[in-house]
């Protein structure tokens, strides 16, 4: 695993052999929608630098403190496509049923297909089923 970004809110690693990018959210709360946008764009730029083509993405939100205030929701709606697009497959790892329901709502809003669950092994199996790039 190659660590390509670490800040107070996110750690991003790449496993070239598995063709997997992993974004792990820390429990450190985001203070504002502006900070949310700044941090997610750092993640997106890090993923752009290594290239998304041919990779699958696992986003681990288990430690995250959910924010569903309207300003945070609006910011995330704008940011999700920038972060999640360009991957062969995307899976979102959540801790709770409420987290899964929130991400399912995002899937409906975004139209970007992703698997959601709390079983990391199951999500990784799903990502491994993606056809390998040439």
Q: Is the pLDDT of residue 9 over 80?
A: yes
Taking only the tens place, the pLDDT of each residue in 59-72 is 999 999 877 789 99
Q: Is residue 54 part of a domain?
A: yes
Find the CATH number of the domain harbouring 113. Answer: 3.30.750.24
Structural domains in the chain (count): 1
Rg (CA), the chain: 14
Q: Give the domain range for residue 14.
A: 2-128
Q: Is residue 57 part of a domain?
A: yes
Q: Is residue 134 part of a domain?
A: no
Q: Is residue 133 part of a domain?
A: no
Mean pLDDT of the residues in the chain? 91
């Amino acid at each position: 695993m190659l660590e390509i970004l670490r800040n107070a809110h996110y750690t991003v690693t790449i496993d070239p052999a598995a063709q997997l990018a992993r974004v792990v959210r820390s429990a450190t709360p985001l203070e504002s929608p502006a900070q949310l946008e700044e941090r997610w764009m750092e993640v997106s730029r890090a993923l752009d630098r290594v290239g998304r083509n041919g990779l699958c993405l696992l986003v681990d939100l288990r430690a995250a403190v959910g924010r569903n205030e309207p300003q945070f929701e609006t910011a995330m709606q704008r940011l999700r496509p920038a972060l999640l697009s360009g991957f062969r497959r995307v899976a979102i790892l959540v801790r709770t049923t409420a987290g899964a329901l929130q991400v399912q709502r995002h899937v409906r809003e975004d139209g970007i297909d992703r698997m959601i669950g709390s079983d990391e092994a199951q999500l990784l199996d799903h990502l491994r089923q993606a056809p390998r790039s040439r």
